[in-house]
Chain A
């Protein structure tokens, strides 16, 4: 068996660890299937998940393939600026806690569309909100699927990319349709601890053998240092030409934020133009950094699969305690991926030469195998197996969460509220299972098409769109009583769509430029650009206007305020349509649950023949 696997280029330990993760996931799904019975169990786990379980499950759901593999790869590729990703993923949670979690939980809706309808008394708005849940959800599933496909192709060389997408999609779809929210709560909680274990243990062992985090950082020379600090015991491999230089890598405002200006400088014809652009480089980088921070912080607060989890707590105090634990659990995790990036820069610089999944993105999987070359062959294989298991857990748990929130949207909102309002709980339960299957199939279909796109890029897209649509909607709806349905819908749609449009503009030209770079013959290149006049036009425009490029690549800095301003203006213009019982709604959103206003409110509403 071992010889067979080895002949196929597969490390038996890696294969076994990955298989065990999948088997445990499916096993837990079957085990919990018997326990999930009611519709409440499926949609919000019976609202009875304890703080510890729920916090582990939210964290498990939150730490996606981008967190597990993408952050480490990005730190290695671009250095300091990539640290904003883990920090803002954690800070976004704080924002959610401060402004949105408590009121939403008190309002007591199953899903965001429930909230949208309840707050504005508008079934129309529910439909818009449902579409957006599905839309952002699919955007966020694509990178998870990409992670699944590339990891499987890494573990089993020769396996096509789509095979991984299909396998992981099938496993998770099965799990979700078996156990719903209650089922995946257990699975995700388990997967959180697996991920923490998989990211910490190998790095502790590695650090003991090859040197500590700070030692590997110390050998990178800053712009202020005149000599390279020699640290005894740290052997650094020579960096390839493609790798960023030490002083740019370790300092803020590096490659990630200066890319657009660098391209313009390279294309500038006169020295005067070059100096003018050089002077702009740092201010533009600062702008880029702020826009990235806004996108990540507000985007976290707007991801639908994260919000739905607040409804699985028994009460508001438990919801707050849960958030506290989530902050701690994800904070602890996020300290570690950058360590892989830093050590990877010293010891596996050859990854800089490859792109995407074969490049820095796989540093987390690649680094433990170094131990094999340092007289610990078994240890290297075992640890590499563990990190692969962690990667598996990463994209499986995030995909499960997305699948539940999207299936809920389909089954609860579209089927239960729009198509068949009179359906029985059993019928809705059946609808949930069918929805899970439909969403699963669509997600696999979409996932198999995105091999060429970068994981982190796709995640960034989903965050920017969520930041400019859901975040303003929730924030303003909760704290401003003057919001009207029209204001909310206009702001959400315009914010979200303009962010989407500007990001699409950058990606169209980027994909075209990446292809063009591979062509070496001048004639081929000219023919290629002649075939893609629009992409060429956009790419040329970026070079001429680096500021426009930055604002389109990171739209949050203008799209979030745009969305909020639109909400304010349109709501003022349509002030007559503010829901008449707005004071009662606000009271339910903000009064302590101990007063029991929610029940009172719902009774009054039903008594009036509302819903």
Chain B
């Protein structure tokens, strides 16, 4: 079994052309990146607005939970039929599913900011914008980025499922392999998808380390709390 999978990886034919590992990997990465950019553009401002002003919080939390409960496969097949079978419909589905974790992380981050700190910022004369960018955003960054990491994991997983409606990417190895009962190919696809998810998650953990201000890290370490992801 393990030998068969190794043979699959060792076959040079699986590393070339539009069906090869590099091409599929790049496709998968491309869908993930594209959907992530759109999700960030939508979710970050919305999360900051609701977290900062407190307006629409109930709607945001319940709406986010409803989207989380949406079955991936149902959404993808529904959009595919709705938008008459284009790749764009699948990307829309990915964006929809990538939004809730980022939104929840951003909102929770702002919510969890110590009120005393925000009051102090107001007390020394900071405007609303200054409070948001110089106090609330840096303090909530660990939770925001935790949300982004969850969202990326969701995207890598969903892009694989979306191969069912004809999207390219690593999911092709999984589903094409299942269709012809080529189990080594299925396992190879599963390993590659998992590897991509793990590598992206580790990369984002690195980004998190770089971006989170030292003061926030120290404060967290001192209070014994780890940033939850």
Q: Do A and B come from one complex?
A: no
Residues of B with Cβ closer than 8 Å to A? none
Residues of A with Cβ closer than 8 Å to B? none
